[in-house]
Chains A and B, each alone.
Chain A
Amino acid sequence: MSSESESGEFHLSRRALFQTVFVGSIAGGALQPVAAQATSEHAGVARCTASQVQTDYGIFAPESLVLSLQDFSLSGSITNNTDRGWRWVSFLLRMRDQNGQPIQHDDRFDGFVYLKDIARGETKPVVSVDGKQPGLLLRPLMRPASFDIRFIPERSYFDSRSVFSLIHPAVSNDLAYQDDVLKIAFTVTQRELRFRLTNRASGPLVID
């Protein structure tokens, strides 16, 4: 968890640091974990007031997004009206009270919902980071009357495909080359470069 260096300074492990921040944020902000407090409020929902969420690539359209005020789970779906398919889209909830004032919430790790593998024009339910029904981990400081969602570009990833060509030793759109010694064909993926090499010489080849 923690250790003391020769200089007398304490160093926290990342887990210990997270726990410290987590507990500190709950205590400091008077936020309660959702599961730790039985609700006595009458059941109700807060509805998403945003009909469009703007991005640089077009809009996402929330449909019937509601936040349960009983267990603070979130349900509903979002249509991808952007110009592309996405592997992962992140949104952050912004809650408001009945006067329309923003409710402060610890959004360092709470209040995020996601869409996974959504094509252009497709509608999908929002999910948590592990693909389950999303919800708040911490009870809001005030009873939310409504909310909207904001697109988080730095946590969102879209699909794309690169087109490659071999330009040396010969030009080939198929990424293939052959001479008297070898025949080779490349495949480029996000993670690595692959090739199939065939020995066209009359004797063995040694590839270093």
Chain B
Amino acid sequence: MTVRTRNTEWVHLTSMPWRVLVQRFSFILFMAASVGLLILGRAQPALIEGARAHIIDVLAPLLDAAARPMTVAQNISSRIESYRQLQKENDDLRSKNAQLAQWQNAVATLQNENRELHALLNFKTEPGLSYISARVIADTGGPFVRSLVVTAGKIDGVREGMAVMTGEGLIGRVIEVGDWSSRVLLITDLNSRIPVTIAGSGDRAILGGDNSAEPKLMYLPQDAVLNPGARVITSGHGGIFPPGLPVGTVSTTTHGVTSIMPLADLGRINYVQLVDFNLKGGAFNPLAAKVEAELNQQQR
């Protein structure tokens, strides 16, 4: 009985036109295609990331056009706000200016002193930093990922691994580069890991995101003493980021887990600076640099 039913079904299916058959099975077909993509993404991440960067490049003008009215509205509203508070802002700026003038003197003195001491020690200076400015065109977060798309790519000199900052501090690093656009993984993302140092004590740790507003310090030495408000800066270890970029301040420590409050307001980012850390040989990939050094040695 069963065999007969199966046979009948088979005959029924083969007599259908090809299109109807495809339509009937398109659900299974596209489910399988999706699963295939997911597996391919795990097996060949580089291939998938490359394709993704290209698609974002194509979409960048559309995203830019869609984001523009919002940027204009935001600019207008902030301008109106600043007109309203002009007097107060002026007073604040005057007092801040006076403070900064004092700081400027102090910095100039320290800089001189630093230079002289470096000369005495025959100290090798850090490579210089240069910045690439970019506008944020998409905040492609959702509940699972913390990332941004910005309007600068290979053509502007952006490379994978570059540190990304706002005026206040570090916000993330470049993880995908297209020709005209790049994707920035924020320091709060689950996959973000940044080598940091606690300013003052010099304790090293890794700043790991957990998708919450405050990333956590990992691999902190057992005896490290952290006071709330202590500044956290990049350590420069691994050669990926330049050392000394401000990241955040120690917020709270509960059950041995220390949270860091980022200096930059990650919820409202319109413009960013991509930091070009001019390491010789483009040592953004520490492993590549090591291999290169070994090859050089062999050649000698």
Answer yes or no: are A and B bound together in one complex: no
Residues on B lying within 8 angstroms of A by beta carbon are none
| Contact surface of A with B, Cβ cutoff 8 Å | none
